[in-house]
Structure 1
Amino acid sequence: MRTILILTSKTGGGHVSLAEALRDRLTEDANIEILDPQSSFFHWHYRWVSRYALWLWSAEFQLTDAPWRALVAHRIFTPLVAKNLRAAIQRLQPDMIITTYPFLTYEVMQTLAGAKLTTPFVMLFTDPKALHASWLTEKRAAATLAPTRETYALATEAGFAAERLYQVGWPVRTQFITQAQQANATTRAEVLRKFGLDPDYFTVFLQGGGEGAAQFGETVERLLSADARLQIILATGTNRTLQARFQHVKNVYPLPFTKEIAIPMAAADVIMGKAGPNMLFEAVTLGKPFIATTFIPGQEEDNLQFIRQHELGWVTLTLNEQYTLLQKLVQQPAILEQMKQTVATYQHWNTAQTDAIVPILQQLLSDGDGGQQKP
């Protein structure tokens, strides 16, 4: 079997989720290893700024969001990861390398060039609406996968070679595809009863940033008061304090960390949380409208426009807006049904486009020449 190395970053869950989505699709055809070659300092830095200094994260994002500054950042970052990259490549001897992180693009190509290797390298963009300049610096990849129409257009405008740029969809982990195929009223009712919730109530799946970017407590209490027929599946992750706080609160199920997150999400009527693209596309795959409540400044601002443009849900950045919207959705079901129709339209397009990913990668592997020709 072929060996594929997927490079990602543990700074937030989004890059890892995409890496896992690719792994799920490729496992039958290859041995897959997912690796973050960065030092622990970068993980600590992200956790700290996402909890206590989002302004700093925004400043760093904006600082490197220009072609020459992005290139400087890549040149600084390359020697910091090159040793671990070389070790991984030497150990695995991969037939292909894929990245889901912009600061493992130029860095990889420089490492491969230094080792005089011609291993096919593939980049998967991880933004739906806008592309940070760090993605646009490296154009030598054997294939660049653009998961939305918007990013495909931006890459074309930036000068990516047409024969190595592919319009695909946004991949999600297999569990979401399975739940989308199996979802029905009976399954939903069983899950909600298991959680101690009422299958006849309007159900919200509420989640914030995996690194503590959103604070739940006050929001949950206020939202519950919007209507007596509203209930919340509260994704608390590893936050035991939050679990304990809502353990015995009526119409709330504090969901502890689980890797099978698609099951409770599929049981909800809407998905609500930070405007991260992976959670958005997981909701789309399940056919659920998304309610964006917050975002990482700079990095996720364009996601709000993407949600509005494609009518994938609503943007409610204040507690009053969220309260009012949920009240309307409970009392006027037609509003939800109308939004579900536009979500379904995008879901069908994205599913068809995402199915193209595996054939593209298989062709690159079989060509064995860096994939200069499109399949």
Structure 2
Amino acid sequence: MTISLLYVDAGKGHYVPAKAMGDVLAARGYDAPVEDLFVALDSTFWHWFCKAEWRFFLKHPILERIVHGVSDNRFTNVILRALSKTKPIRTKFIAWYKERKPDVILSTNFLGGVIVGELAAYYKLDVKVYVYAADAFNNPVAGFHINVDKIFIPSFVGEENLERQGYSQDQIIRSPFPLQQSIEKMERVSKQEARSLLGLEDRFTILYNLGGEGIGSDKLIRYLAKEEADYQIVIVGKTDEQTKKHFLEITKDSNLRVHVPGFVTNIGMYMLACDIQAGKAGANALMESIALRRPFLLSQVLYAARDTTRFFKLRGVGWVEGSSKKQSEIIKTYARSEEARAEMDSHFDKLPLTFSTEAFVDLLLKNVNQNR
């Protein structure tokens, strides 16, 4: 059986779950190629556009919420469906399909759902069209397609949103969150042991995440330094030497203990070593933190992740706060109050989410086999 996994190069949150699923499926003997949707369609412009737009809006989050908030509607959905059937797209798709001969096509980006859903119907293909909603709590209205056989989403908040969009209960599948294998299979050591392994001090630690593209802010770090806070801060994400020097420079006369490892391949160990994670995060980094029982203090959310705020309010496993002063107060309370940390542990105990790519693949194959 061939299960083709398609992602879009617009953030690691789309690639990482596709790669994780592909690895597990391949280990079980399935043909599971992982491909960029627009590379598969030989569409150079759309491949460039998706990445460029995503990077631009990371730098301008307020503009992102406005633009995507206005454009995420049924009208855009109609346009996307029409574009899918233009000759360059449909001819490249059917050529790709005939070469791959997939039994199932699973997309980890909403564009895959609407494009593949439209063209599978157009060509009357005998293929299952699945979508994994990688944003966890939302999937764009613009990506809706009635011909999607199953749409997998890992949260109850996301499930409610899909129902409001018009997906049937038969189409919506509550799923585990597919963790990257380096985190799913890692040994869960204690906070103290993780710190020792990483050469960190055994003290209250903030893991400050700049994201995979290193497009982050220094506002919270500056504020904590000014307030003479006494924390250990570990800054991860894509960084260059100039960025590292910048963070060390703005904290050199403070009480903060700052480490800047930058991009790391053992991010799970750093999560285990921290008490709280802060900064920017897509759904992938956010859910990985929650899977390892570390609360996340988000400085902002993009339109695609807007219901993260509602999820945090309902489940109490993190915060969304843009004010550096209020962020500092949240951290101070959490650092000083054993009661606050115990309450957070109880929230994690009650969280109605599961995290496992192995379990996700079990569910995926169950649905494939039920509908063959």
* 1:67, distance to aligned residue in structure 2 (A): 2.1
* 1:268, distance to aligned residue in structure 2 (A): 0.8
**Contact (CA 8 Å) 1:100, 1:124: kept in 2 or not?**
yes
Count of equivalent residues:
357
| CA distance in 1 between partners of 2:135 and 2:92 (Å) | 26
The corresponding residue for 2:287 is: 281
Change (3 A) 1:85 1:57: farther
Match of 1:60 among 67, 84, 100: 67
RMSD over aligned Cα atoms: 2.7
The corresponding residue for 1:93 is: 101
The corresponding residue for 2:220 is: 219
Change (3 A) 1:282 1:353: closer
Paired residue type of 2:336 = Q
Q: Does 1:359 align with 2:365?
A: no
| CA distance in 2 between partners of 1:202 and 1:316 (Å) | 20
SS of equivalent to 1:170: coil
The corresponding residue for 1:152 is: 159
Deviation string for 1:173-213 (max 9, x for gaps)? 1222234x5222453132342xxx311x1011111343454
TM-score (norm 1): 0.84
Deviation string for 1:297-319 (max 9, x for gaps)? x3333211211211112222111
| CA distance in 2 between partners of 1:153 and 1:48 (Å) | 30
| CA distance in 2 between partners of 1:75 and 1:133 (Å) | 16
Change (3 A) 1:27 1:362: same
| CA distance in 2 between partners of 1:55 and 1:316 (Å) | 14
* 1:253, distance to aligned residue in structure 2 (A): 1.2
Q: Does 1:260 align with 2:263?
A: no
Paired residue type of 1:92 = R
Match of 1:342 among 337, 342, 347: 347
* 1:263, distance to aligned residue in structure 2 (A): 1.7
* 1:354, distance to aligned residue in structure 2 (A): 7.0
SS of equivalent to 1:32: coil
**Contact (CA 8 Å) 1:129, 1:148: kept in 2 or not?**
yes
Change (3 A) 1:16 1:188: same
* 1:11, distance to aligned residue in structure 2 (A): 1.2
Q: Does 1:242 align with 2:233?
A: no
**Contact (CA 8 Å) 1:50, 1:212: kept in 2 or not?**
no
**Contact (CA 8 Å) 2:211, 2:236: kept in 1 or not?**
no
Deviation string for 1:92-142 (max 9, x for gaps)? 22232101111111211233344442122211123343442123x212223
Deviation string for 1:73-105 (max 9, x for gaps)? 332355475455444333322232101111111
| CA distance in 2 between partners of 1:365 and 1:131 (Å) | 22
Deviation string for 1:31-61 (max 9, x for gaps)? 332222332232123223322x444433431
Q: Does 1:6 align with 2:5?
A: yes
